[in-house]
Amino acid sequence: MTEKIMSETTEKLNWELQSKKLQMHWLLQITKAINYNLPSEQLYKIYESVIKDHLHAGKLSLFVNEGSWKQVLSYGMKEELSKLQPEKLLEELQMSSTKEISAPSWLEKDESIIPVYHNEQLLAYSIVGNIKSTHDIPVREVVPFIHTITNIIVVAIENKRLNLQAVEQAAFRKELELAAEMQDMLFPVGLKGNEWFDVDSVYLPHQQVGGDYYDFISLNDYEHIFCMADVSGKGMAAALLMSNFQANLHALIKNKLPLKELVTELNACVNKSAKGEKFITFFIGIINFKSHTLQYINAGHNPPVLCEKKSVRVLNKGTTGLGMFDELPFLNDETVTFEKGASVFCYTDGITELENESGEFFGAENLHQFISEKMASGTLKEFHGSLINHLDKYRQDSDYSDDVTILSLRALA
């Protein structure tokens, strides 16, 4: 009798030992697959093969949260369960403080739910059922073992996803840094006025580098070309397009083209560079502080403001944005006169599209009112400082949604 008991005990121990060896073997195969950096699809296939072919589970569904819930594999489940969305299945899963999930109404008697947590969040859950008894592994150990390999597979895939996300974010940050450096190189350095005029600029970059650009090119002491532009889109693509635009602009200015011809050529350049994928809003003016005249063309840009004696005039004559059409559908210029003390205020839509906590835009009307009340007093730098303070008070705790770019000129003679 004793020998029989010992024999049965030995047989049981050998069986359990063999079972553990098999479990270790499957764990090793899964770990190797992870270390070989196999795609997620192949890891899920290995996971399914172990559960279906070696653990002999007749039912399996695995749901994973990758920003939104999705079913990544399923077999043997009843049809109505397979058709349900993962979010619908989750509605009946009540999580307790011990991270145990109560059985929902749709769970059958032979089915078990296996949750997977990562950083205190439910990352995935599998439904397994119809586990058949075999000589390979005790039935009582199947569900715990499936729990183990589900954790290993799902967490490994999540870590892989997070690592890839980190790499992509690092690359994106580097791209933004390069775009910001490129954009800084486009802006004129050391803007200075003289006895004829005063000039000042402001550039407040947003987190995502936009395509704002301004320039100031002196023809002589009293005659100057100035411009303000904004390319659609952000990041490196916008910075590259604006860099190309600046190079073309400077080349055309050296050729001393008339303003209308210059803008027509710039439109062709933008079409060639952007291939219809982006466009540029653009304002360009030739200002003469001796004759007190300003000739300009506005190509779809936020209209600059000419401020004289607390009255404002918008400079909106011109054409459409550059790159919107192969040929500009219309093209107008305008020449205006101004008096000593008059100022020109150019800006991009980062100002007018600034929102307060109620979601209300600052808008052109508020800007024009502030300009008419404040611009004539003090220096341009002081006016710009008071405007930024005013914008900060308006937005309160809201962030700027875009770059803020300003260029202002004032006639001193």
The answer to whether the CB of 403 falls within 8 A of the CB of 204 is: yes
Tell me how far apart the alpha carbons of residues 405 and 396 are, in angstroms, rounded to a whole number.
20
Which of 258, 410, 267 lies closest to 341, judged by CA?
410
Lowest mean pLDDT among 9-13, 54-58, 183-187, 331-335: 9-13
Quickly state the pLDDT bin for 194 (edges 50, 70, 90).
very high
- Percent of the chain having pLDDT more than 90? 45
Q: What is the pLDDT of residue 328?
A: 97
Chain segment 41-94, per-residue pLDDT in tens: 888 898 898 888 878 888 888 888 887 888 888 888 876 555 555 555 565 554
Confidence of residue 218 (pLDDT cuts 50, 70, 90): very high
Check whether 95 has a pLDDT greater than 50: no
User: pLDDT at residue 4 above 80?
Assistant: no
User: Which residues are within 8 A (CB) of 146 and not within 5 positions of it... i.e. 6 or more apart?
Assistant: 51, 55, 57, 114, 126, 128
- The predicted pLDDT at position 96 comes to 41
pLDDT of 98 > 50? The answer is no
**pLDDT, position 15:** 47
Q: Which domains does the chain have, with CATH numbers?
A: 2-165 (3.30.450.40), 187-411 (3.60.40.10)
Confidence of residue 308 (pLDDT cuts 50, 70, 90): very high
Angle between helices 40-49 and 2-35 (to 10 degrees): 170
**pLDDT tens digits along 24-43:** 777 788 888 788 788 888 88
Q: Is 163 exposed, middle or buried (0-12, 13-18, 19+ CB in 10 A)?
A: exposed
* Mean pLDDT score across all residues of the chain: 85
- Please give the pLDDT value at position 94: 46
Any idea which of 85-99, 136-150, 334-348 has the lowest mean pLDDT? 85-99
pTM value is 0.69
Ranges 158-167, 181-190, 281-290: which has the least confidence: 181-190
Listing DSSP states for 177-223 in one string gives HHHHHHHHHHS-SS----SSEEEEEEEE--SS---EEEEEEESSSSE
Mean pLDDT for the stretch of residues 308-323: 95
For the segment 160-189, the average pLDDT, to the nearest whole number, is: 84
**Amino acid, single-letter form, for residue 225:** I
The answer on pLDDT for 155 being more than 90 is: no
Beta strand pairing call for 69-75 and 197-204:
unpaired
CA 331-332-334 angle, to 5 degrees, is 155
**Residue 199 predicted with pLDDT over 80:** yes
Average pLDDT rounded to a whole number, residues 351-375: 94
pLDDT(268) > 60 = yes
Residue from 300, 331, 304, 307 nearest 315 by CA: 304
Q: Give 110's contacts (C-beta < 8 A, 6+ positions apart).
A: 59, 129, 130, 131
- Which is more confidently placed, 146 or 412? 412
Work out the average pLDDT over 277-301.
97
- Indicate left, alpha or beta for 76 from its phi (over 0: left) and psi (-120 to 50: alpha): left
